[in-house]
Amino acid sequence: MRQEGVVEWAQTLLTIGFIRYLRRGDYIEKSDISLGDRNVEVYKFCQGNGPPAQKTLWDTIIWDKSSLESITVEEQELVLEHELSHRDRNPVYKGIFIGALLMLAPGLFILLYSPLHLLNGAPLTELVDSVVAGFSIVAGFVLIWRIEEMWADYDAICALGEDKFMTAYRRFKTGSDASMAHKILEKVVYTKPENTRRLYRRLHQSD
Ligand SMILES: [Zn+2]
């Protein structure tokens, strides 16, 4: 019991730190939100400039009160189910994801700095080797991230049902005023809702 208290205290501290120091927005409070038959504790903030909700590395969910209040209840449910799926993912896959995330920095480093070897007179074959190594690490991470996002959308479609999922997703997409960088990221790591629905139908055919 006492250990749980310490963990909760650390989670709170790290989550508030995450909101404040990464400038995700102004922290408001930790409180419950009720959507559908869910009652979930989240860390609310406002004036955010990124995604409206996010699961942190400490298994907490941060929730942009101001941007989420401007969307429909169905869209909020979609966001919540997606984030809950991230949070409740099995520890093995989470370990793989964090491992790949830690590999990303050396991967990018190899990729960006390998051309410098050429200037130092290294043979071209060496450059090819390091570009292939760097690219493989980065591509591997992107693939794992993509699977993670599709998994979260898949859990959301299971929770909401096809129609609600598609309606909420389409409305959410058209309503977002994402920056160019965010739009590119969306294309790279998110699966189109139609493809999530296809997967859902295939896996539920026998039902
Ligand atoms: Zn996600």
Please report, for the chain, the start and end positions of each structural domain, with discontinuous segments joined by +: 1-70, 71-207
Token reading at 100: 């790949």
Can you say how many angstroms the Cα of residue 131 is from the centroid of all Cα atoms in its chain?
27
Kindly tell me if the per-residue pLDDT of 195 is higher than 70: yes
pLDDT digits (tens, 9 = 90+) for 4-59: 889 999 999 999 999 998 888 899 999 999 998 899 999 999 987 778 899 998 99
Of residues 76 and 127, more confidently modeled: 76
User: How does residue 207 score in pLDDT terms, banded at 50, 70 and 90?
Assistant: low
CA of 202 to the centre of ligand 1 (A): 22
Taking residue 191's Cβ as centre, other Cβ atoms within 10 Å add up to 17
Quote the pTM value: 0.87
Is residue 136 within 8 Å of residue 177, measured between CB atoms? no
CA of 141 to the centre of ligand 1 (A): 15
CA of 38 to the centre of ligand 1 (A): 18
The C-alpha R_g of the chain, in whole angstroms, comes to 20
Of residues 125 and 27, more confidently modeled: 27
CA of 3 to the centre of ligand 1 (A): 29
Distance CA 195, CA 52 (A): 23
Sign of CA dihedral 135, 152, 32, 6: negative
Kindly give the interhelix angle for 124-160 and 73-88, rounded to the nearest 10 degrees: 120
CA of 120 to the centre of ligand 1 (A): 42
Q: Is 99 exposed, middle or buried (0-12, 13-18, 19+ CB in 10 A)?
A: exposed
User: How does residue 177 score in pLDDT terms, banded at 50, 70 and 90?
Assistant: low
CA of 129 to the centre of ligand 1 (A): 33
Question: Which among 186, 190, 188, 199 is positioned nearest to 157, based on CA atoms?
Answer: 199
Owner of token pair 């007179």:
121
The enclosing H or E element of 16 equals helix 2-21
Of residues 207 and 133, more confidently modeled: 133
Token reading at 142: 């992107």
CA of 83 to the centre of ligand 1 (A): 6
Query: Quick one: pLDDT at residue 196?
Result: 96
- Beta partners for residue 31, in sequence order: 42
**DSSP symbol at 71:** S
CA of 84 to the centre of ligand 1 (A): 9
Residue list, CB under 5 A from ion ligand 1: 149, 152
DSSP one-letter string for 80-133: HHHHHHHHHS-HHHHHHHHHHHHHHHHHHHHHHHHHHHHHTT--HHHHHHHHHH
- Beta partners for residue 13, in sequence order: none
Kindly tell me if the per-residue pLDDT of 69 is higher than 90: no
CA of 63 to the centre of ligand 1 (A): 13
CA of 11 to the centre of ligand 1 (A): 20
